[in-house]
Chain A
Amino acid sequence: MEEGVGVVNEEIWALGAESVILRVRRWGRTLIEKRRRAKPYLLPEIDSLLRRQRTNRECRMLNRVRRLGVRAPTVYAVDWSSYSILMDFVQGEQLKVIAQTCSDDDLMDLCKEFGRMLGLLHTGGVVHGDPTTSNIIVDPQRRLWLVDFGLAEWNATVEMMAVDLHLVRRTLETTHWDRQEIMLDAVLQGYWDQMASSADEILSRMEEIRERGRYH
């Protein structure tokens, strides 16, 4: 059986597609342990490659993005035998959940800030890779934290940044269909505030990507 990073006590906090998120007590504080378990239905070569690559990526990115001014959990330890990362537990609620109940004004403020954070990442050459509203935590002070950097990449090109924005639009389409317009507008507004005119090329590429996968 898989062992964690010297876990004392733990509870399953969330079950993701590619990992189990455990809430653990360690050194007198509450932390998160993210464990990427083996998937027996994948070719073992691919499975272990992905687990290793994403664990590696996530650790490096969490450190890197904080230097860009983006709030993200601090990494404390990594266990390569179980592909687990021990990191800060961010208190708060997913934007996905908040967006179901909060007012339009409140939501637009949060989305604008989300856009600004994406702009900060992109300015630093990083793309998130999975910028859904589930991966944004709003803390009690209404500050936004970005989590889940397993699909993140650096040395971002215009294409990669445009895909990142396209994914934001996709998540709004499928998950926040009734408020997608105001949310997208606010995200892009915040993004533009941060990126200024360098956003133009990326935004027009985003439109291009939207057309690409479609029947013609």
Chain B
Amino acid sequence: MCLGLEGTAHSFGAGVVTDDGKVLSNVWDMLSPREGGIHPREASRHHAELGPSIVKQAIEKAGVQPQDVDLIAFSRGPGLGPCLRVTATIARTLSLHLGVPLVGVNHCVAHVEIGCLESGFQDPVTVYVSGGNTQIIAFAGQRFRTFGETLDIAIGNMLDTLGREIGMRFPAGPTIEREARRGERYYQLPYSVKGMDLSYSGMLTAAKRLYQEGIPIPDICHSVQETAFGMLAEIAERAIAHTKKRELLLTGGVARNNRLTEILKGVAQRHSARFHRVSPPLAGDQGAMIAWTGILQFKAGDHLQVPESHVLPKWRTDEQDIIWRRG
């Protein structure tokens, strides 16, 4: 049984998962600033202050004793340095205190693996969309390769920045989705797909301009969603056509969006691929995904010694050998 700690950005989470993939608990808390964005130091303070009690809750909710935990996994990267370091410190302490092995997990890989656990998918093309990431990931040659990604800002970041500009609270995604439903008119925005990558910064600038011009907020939100999701659908489609895989997985915080889900369902249908949207509790940043990936990794023979367990803030999805999968 593994206790997984996730703290790469503004959320801190702890989850307990059994070796056969049962999620016994999954507790998290998200720092939601009253105004402005996330400051790395504030977020790390949040993790340091709430981390221990979140861990305690996760163990209690799982209905187990701390001694029942025989593996500690933590999000080793990529993420904000200060947040990663606090999380790693808690993980090392627990590992030493309980006398159990420590595993360092790649945050993006964990999103894919927990999605596979939930959906039963074997080898999907994964659309991973969140505040900090926009990636189209697929397994090839013993690595999870990023077939598509953003060339500038992540989709969630784009939505939050726009939201802040037009007076919405963080995170703005759900509000934008609600407003978009009332949108009637489509205003053309820069649609920027480059190969299998995309770019959102031009679209964001243009959307802000629409607001300054007095275009109704629902119309802006509608136009932004349709353009941003259309671009994402295109690169997902390119990845499916390119890799010839038959499963499409949608995960990450932005996976909550129903319009995005509908569009990607259409993409999957067009290519006779199965589709799954990871359920909200497992789609966002949380500890269960770290715990589950930690189990896979540990079973395949991978673990860390404390002195070498430094964090990897720039750890790319495709930098880790995926020793627990065959390709």
The reply to whether A43 and B241 contact each other, CB–CB distance below 8 Å, is no
Residue of chain A at shortest CB distance from B241 = A17
| Given known A163-B151, A177-B143, A209-B151, contact A170–B196 (CB-CB < 8 A) | yes
CA distance A131 to B146 in the complex (A): 17
A215 with B226: CB separation less than 8 A: no
In the assembled complex, the Cα of A91 lies from the Cα of B314 at a distance in Å of: 43
Contact of A177 with B151 at beta-carbon distance under 8 Å, contacts A39-B270, A151-B194 already known:
no
The distance in angstroms between the C-alpha atoms of A215 and B316, with both chains bound, is 9
B35 to chain A, nearest CB (A): 23
- Check A41–B146 contact: CB distance below 8 A: no
- A214 at the B interface (CB under 8 A): yes
| B residues in contact with A216, CB < 8 Å | 313-314
> Do B145 and A215 have beta carbons less than 8 Å apart?
no
Interface flag for B237 (CB, 8 Å):
yes
List CB contacts (< 8 Å) of A156-215 with chain B: 163, 166-167, 170-171, 173-175, 177-178, 209, 212-215
| Given contacts A17-B240, A151-B195, A173-B145, A215 and B313 within 8 Å (CB-CB) | yes
User: Which among B141, B152, B242, B313 is the interface contact of A134 at CB below 8 angstroms?
Assistant: B242
A46 touches B79 (CB 8 A): no
Convert A32-57 into 0s and 1s, putting 1 for each residue whose CB lies closer than 8 angstroms to a CB of B: 00000001111101100110000000
Q: Does B37 contact A (CB under 8 A)?
A: no
Q: How far is the CB of B49 from chain A (nearest CB, A)?
A: 23
With A41-B233, A130-B195 as known contacts, state yes or no: A174 contacts B150, CB within 8 Å.
no
Given contacts A151-B194, A174-B146, A215-B132, contact A42 B263 (CB under 8 A): yes
Write out the residue numbers on chain B whose beta carbons fall within 8 Å of the beta carbon of A42.
Answer: 226, 230, 233, 263, 266
Instruction: Please judge, given known A-B contacts A46-B227, A215-B79, whether A178 and B141 are in contact too, CB under 8 Å.
Output: yes
The contact size tier of chain B is 35 or more
Q: Which of B194, B242, B263, B267 contacts A167 (CB 8 A)?
A: B194
Contacts of A175 in B (CB 8 A): 140, 242
> Which chain B residues border A140 with CB–CB below 8 Å?
none
* A93 within 8 Å of B (CB atoms): no
A216 to B147, CA, bound (A): 21
Chain A residues positioned under 8 Å from B194 (CB to CB): 129-130, 151, 163, 167
* Interface mask (B72-87 → A, CB under 8 Å = 1, otherwise 0): 0000011110000000
- CB-based contact B314/A215 at 8 Å: yes
Could you tell me the distance between the alpha carbons of A143 and B242 in the complex, rounded to whole angstroms? 24
| Chain A neighbourhood of B149, CB < 8 A | 213
A84 contacts B by Cβ under 8 Å: no
Q: Which 5 A-B pairs have the closest CB atoms?
A: A41-B266, A167-B195, A17-B238, A17-B241, A215-B78
Would you list 17 pairs from A and B whose C-beta atoms are within 8 A, ordered by A residue? A17-B237, A17-B241, A18-B237, A18-B238, A39-B233, A46-B186, A129-B194, A131-B195, A132-B242, A167-B195, A173-B318, A174-B145, A174-B196, A174-B318, A214-B78, A215-B77, A216-B313
Please give 6 more A-B residue pairs, beta carbons under 8 A apart, in addition to A46-B226, A130-B195, A167-B197.
Answer: A17-B234, A41-B262, A46-B186, A130-B194, A166-B151, A170-B195
